[in-house]
Structures are given as C-alpha cells and as structure tokens.
C-alpha cells in the first residue's frame, strides 16, 4: 500500500507531546492524520465514528470492541501505544484481518520508577508530611526503613524486573512470583522465587505487576487480602481490574493492612463514592506511571514504526497474537 494514500487515526493523548518529530514524521509519510482532541480515551461510539476511511490506528486506552470495529471499512492495523490489549476485541480484529501490535518494554523503566517512589512514599509517610506542613504543622512522623523489609513482586516480567533492579540498593529482601519466572535473572539479582500465596504472606510491601487475564481479574479480593501479612502495604501500578476496591478498603479500615498506593483503577477516573478515595492511608495517582518523556517517546516510535510497517506490507516488530 502506498503510504501517501493512507489515513491514520492517532488517539493517545500524550502522543508527540515530548517529541514533536513523532507527529511531523507521521504527517510527512501519510496522506492524512486525525488526532484525538477530547483529552481522554475514546468510548466505543467515539471510536466507531472515527474509524471509517482509516487505514491505520495508533491507539491509546480507547474501547476498541466489536461495535467500534464494525465501522472499520479499510483498517489494516491497530498499533497500541502501550502494552495492554484488554480493551481490544482480538477476536473481532482477527475476523476482519486487522493486525494488532503493542509496545512491550517501552514504559517498563518509568512504571518501575513510580512503583519505587510509591513504596518510599508509603514507608516514609512523605505525602502525610507534606500535607501537615502545608497546614502549618511540624509533625515528627515515624516511618519505615526498607532495609531488612521484604518487598514482594507479583509478576517478574519486564516491569517487575526493573523494580527488582532498582530495589537492590535498598538492602531489602526481594521475593517474587511469576508463572514463568526467569530463574537466571532471579539468581543474578538476589530475588527469591516463591508461590503467589507465600509472597503475599511474607511481604511487607506487595507490588502488583501482573497482566489482566481472566484468572487475574479481581485476584486481590477479600480472601487474597486476608492472606497478606498483617500491617503490609499493597502497591498497584499494573491494572486496576486486578483489585476489588471495596475489599481493599475494608482490609485497610479494619486494620489488617497498613495502607496502599494505587496508580490504576477498575474504573478510570474512579467514581466519587469509591471508598478508597476517603482513606488517608491510601496514596492515589491518576494513572501516570507511563507519563514520562522517556516512556512516551519510546511508545510513540514503536507504535509508529509498527503501524507504518503493516501499511507497507511488512511484518511488525511487536505483533500481538
């Protein structure tokens, strides 16, 4: 296919924000580019309204379900700007012969950095200290040292490994579970491998780095939380759907857990009545883990290159499925 005849839809709200060459390069190579101007991920209906006539789609966190894809009359590729494809109906894309790609590893370092930052904020009560001082107080808050504590990682893939590497210098004990654990990496970085139950039972800080699958959806429920170590902290920078919010809130309110730090939520943004919003023991960030210049640029170039590769009839570097 001649790129100069192609139209491409680009919906990630941060695409090209820290590297203008991403937009300039794409606009120079194809006939027309349509951008998402809403400032947020698109609904199924919104995607459906934009897909007619599009040959390529660099996609953010939009709802790309069967009804949306029914409107795709020319689409050859959906290049996800990110790793997760749980919002994409892969059965429907296969039926319509639409290639799907993603950007594995592009945001691993940025997500790992935020994860470590949240762990430190929980341990040292950084947010509480800032709020107290802004209110005119001078509290002598006592925190926790990571030295000698156990940090549990559920998931030792690309992001989990980056978290482990960054925590090595804190002289904490690293305990991890992964369905296909990299034993060589674990040995090299002093990570002890264990079952999911054992990791949850022994971790002072339990960090989630699991994909969203049928078997992991709502994994962190009441039963799971009861199996966690008393006074532990939960950190989630993976997928909001892994956690049952009401169960987590109850575990914190009844004193079983000391707190949590969450960058992702089942519904984004969370609804006003979400009980986690009202708990001072919970640190909340608005899904910013991948919002760094490094991650955005890496995701942008990977998605752009794979989108153009498919449109040129070439094999993408990061196909899904």
Catalytic residue among 95, 168, 268, 271: 268
Catalytic residue among 99, 173, 239, 291: 239
Catalytic residue among 7, 166, 256, 287: 287
Please answer whether residues 268 and 239 qualify as being in contact, where contact means their C-beta atoms are separated by less than 8 angstroms.
no
Please answer whether residues 100 and 85 qualify as being in contact, where contact means their C-beta atoms are separated by less than 8 angstroms.
yes
* Angle (nearest 5°) at CA 245 between 244 and 251: 95
Kindly tell me the burial class for residue 23, based on how many C-beta atoms sit within 10 Å of its own C-beta (0-12, 13-18, 19 or more). middle
Active site residue 239: yes
Q: Is 24 helix (H, G, I), strand (E, B) or coil?
A: helix
* Angle (nearest 5°) at CA 117 between 194 and 130: 135
Q: For residue 202, what are the contacts with CB-CB under 8 A and spacing of at least 6? A: 150, 152, 175, 194, 229
Helical (H) or strand (E) element with 100: strand 99-101
Active site residue 256: no
Please answer whether residues 23 and 7 qualify as being in contact, where contact means their C-beta atoms are separated by less than 8 angstroms.
no
The angle, 0 to 180 degrees and rounded to 10, between the axes of the packed helices 158-167 and 108-124 is 50
Active site residue 268: yes
Kindly tell me the burial class for residue 5, based on how many C-beta atoms sit within 10 Å of its own C-beta (0-12, 13-18, 19 or more). exposed
**191 alpha carbon, distance to own chain's centre:** 23
Q: Smallest Cα–Cα separation from 117: which of 289, 276, 281?
A: 289
Q: Which residues are catalytic?
A: 239, 268, 287
């Amino acid at each position: 296919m001649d790129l100069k005849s192609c139209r491409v839809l680009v919906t990630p709200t941060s695409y090209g924000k820290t590297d203008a060459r991403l937009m300039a390069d794409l606009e120079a190579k194809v006939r027309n580019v349509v951008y998402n101007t809403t400032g947020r991920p698109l609904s199924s209906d919104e995607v459906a309204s934009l897909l007619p006539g599009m040959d390529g789609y660099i996609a953010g966190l939009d709802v790309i379900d069967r009804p949306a894809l029914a409107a795709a009359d020319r689409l050859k590729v959906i290049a996800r700007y990110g790793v997760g494809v749980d919002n994409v109906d892969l059965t429907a894309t296969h039926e319509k012969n639409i290639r799907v790609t993603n950007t594995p590893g592009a945001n691993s370092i940025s997500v790992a950095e935020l994860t470590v930052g949240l762990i430190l904020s929980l341990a040292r009560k950084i947010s509480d200290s800032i709020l107290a001082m802004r209110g005119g107080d001078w509290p002598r808050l006592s925190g926790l040292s990571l030295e000698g504590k156990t940090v549990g990682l559920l998931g030792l893939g690309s992001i989990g490994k980056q978290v482990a590497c960054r925590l090595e210098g804190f002289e904490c004990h690293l305990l991890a579970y992964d369905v296909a654990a990299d034993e060589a990496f674990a040995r090299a970085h002093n990570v002890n491998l264990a079952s999911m139950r054992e990791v949850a039972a022994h971790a002072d800080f339990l960090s989630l780095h699991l994909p969203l699958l049928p078997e992991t959806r709502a994994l962190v429920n009441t039963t799971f939380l009861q199996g966690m170590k008393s006074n532990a902290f939960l950190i989630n920078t993976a997928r909001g759907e892994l956690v049952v919010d009401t169960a987590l809130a109850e575990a914190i309110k009844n004193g079983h857990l000391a707190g949590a730090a969450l960058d992702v939520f089942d519904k984004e943004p969370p609804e006003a009545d979400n009980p986690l919003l009202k708990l001072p023991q919970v640190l909340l960030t608005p899904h910013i883990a991948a919002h760094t210049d490094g991650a955005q640029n890496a995701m942008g170039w990977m998605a752009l290159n794979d989108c153009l590769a498919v449109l040129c009839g070439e094999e993408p570097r990061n196909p899904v499925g």
